[in-house]
Amino acid sequence: MTTDPPVADDRDVPHAVERDPEVLFAPPRVERFARADGCVLLRSPDPLGASTRCVGEWLEGWAVRAPERAFLAERDPAGGWRTVTYADALARVRALGTWLLERGLGPERPLAILSDNGVDHALLSLAAMHVGVPVASVSVAYSLMSADHAKLRAIVSALTPGALFVSAAAPFTAALRAIAPLHDATVGAGDPAGGPEGVVPRARLQERTDEAVVARAFAAVGPDTVAKVLFPSGSTGTPKGVVNTQRLLCSNQQAQAQVWPFLERPPPLI
């Protein structure tokens, strides 16, 4: 028998889109254009609303507006819930951002995360984007289901990461050894036990915060700052990185809110 994750309340939620939250889709408005070559183009006449400067503005805002609201949750080893509030998430993001900057990460030395989704994965991704460090989430299959780690090695060679992170070092030992000659990155792990020598435990990644350094880095992040580098499946060859800017991520969320207005009603719990 399992318990449900914590339920976020719906107080203090903005209602920028004044539509019925029970309706899945916004009322369709479509313009049709027929081109001379026979193609028919369909588009919405509704302009895209203004979006935030960067992803970090959402976290900064909700940490003030609803600091004790649950934001992230996952099962712990005992079967209960490990929960992170908005205020706690922001504090950890600033600490992790300090660690990333102190190790010289930036546009040319991104963060690579090799393990599956989880609270640590989310916090590190948010921390990197908060301070202008691109983050690449690499398919776990390239580490755990490959005999030669060829795709993983190609990705690491292309990225030149300044830091790598895995949820637990032991299962990734073979992968980490396979890519060791290709980078000079610091390797961190949620659980370093059984991994290669030198893996940094999670607690050390967030043991101190330099508020001023993080604030300056956050202020310098703009819409054209690279937020993520996404690698597709590579089913037809070596995976190639696709650059995602802060503008792309933020405008995408704005578009979803306009198409699915119910998203602006319930507070998200991930």
pTM: 0.87
Which pair of tokens denotes residue 258?
């306009």
Phi/psi of residue 268, nearest 5 degrees: -75, 135
Find residue 135's DSSP bridge partners. 111, 228
Give the integer Cα–Cα distance in Å for 215 and 139.
Answer: 31
Which pair of tokens denotes residue 113?
């995360």
Of 171, 182, 188, the residue nearest 127 (C-alpha):
188
Q: Which tens digits make up the pLDDT trace of 227-247?
A: 999 998 766 778 889 999 999
Q: What angle do CA 138, 84, 86 make, to 5 degrees?
A: 100
Q: Which tens digits make up the pLDDT trace of 159-179?
A: 999 999 999 999 999 999 999
Burial class (CB in 10 A: 0-12, 13-18, 19+), 84: buried
On whether the CB atoms of residues 120 and 203 are closer than 8 A, the answer is no
Give the integer Cα–Cα distance in Å for 230 and 158.
Answer: 12
pLDDT for position 20: 62
Give the integer Cα–Cα distance in Å for 60 and 116.
Answer: 25
Whether the predicted pLDDT of 10 surpasses 90: no
Which pair of tokens denotes residue 93?
């993001």
Tell me the residue ranges of DSSP E strands in the chain.
31-34, 40-43, 70-75, 81-85, 111-113, 135-137, 163-168, 186-191, 200-201, 226-230, 242-245
Give the integer Cα–Cα distance in Å for 88 and 91.
Answer: 5
Q: Which tens digits make up the pLDDT trace of 37-78?
A: 999 999 888 899 999 999 999 999 999 999 999 999 999 889
Which pair of tokens denotes residue 151?
């795709």
Q: Does the CA dihedral 89-90-91-97 come out positive or negative? A: positive
Give the integer Cα–Cα distance in Å for 202 and 165.
Answer: 9
